[in-house]
Amino acid sequence: MYFFIYYASIYSFWQVLYTRFLLCSLAVRWLFGGGGGVVALGTPRWVGGDVYLMCVWFGVVSVSCWIGR
């Protein structure tokens, strides 16, 4: 039973990370238009690498908080 609880907690943790990755990338692409160029008010658009780095950052913060428990 303990193995099942441990496995379920790890599985849900990775589900949360995956969902966060998808939502962050979709939100950034929607807000900033995804590709090069400039949008209104001179805000530079985000490229795929920026989205990837942002999602890695949120993942690292989540993992470090999770390990600290």
Taking only the tens place, the pLDDT of each residue in 6-34 is 555 566 777 777 777 777 777 766 766 65
Tell me the CB-side half-sphere exposure of residue 32, using CA atoms within 13 A.
20
pLDDT-derived band at 4, boundaries 50, 70, 90: very low
pLDDT-derived band at 38, boundaries 50, 70, 90: very low
Residue 49 pLDDT: 64
Q: How many domains does the chain have?
A: 1
Whether 5 is covered by a domain: the verdict is no
Whether 28 is covered by a domain: the verdict is yes
pTM of the model: 0.37
Whether 9 is covered by a domain: the verdict is no
Whether 53 is covered by a domain: the verdict is yes
Looking at the DSSP bridge assignments, the partners of residue 38 are 44
Domain that holds residue 41: 14-67
Whether 43 is covered by a domain: the verdict is yes
Whether 4 is covered by a domain: the verdict is no
The letter for the amino acid at 59 is: G
Gap between the Cα atoms of 53 and 47, Å rounded: 10
Encoded tokens for 53: 């780095």
Tell me the CB-side half-sphere exposure of residue 20, using CA atoms within 13 A.
16
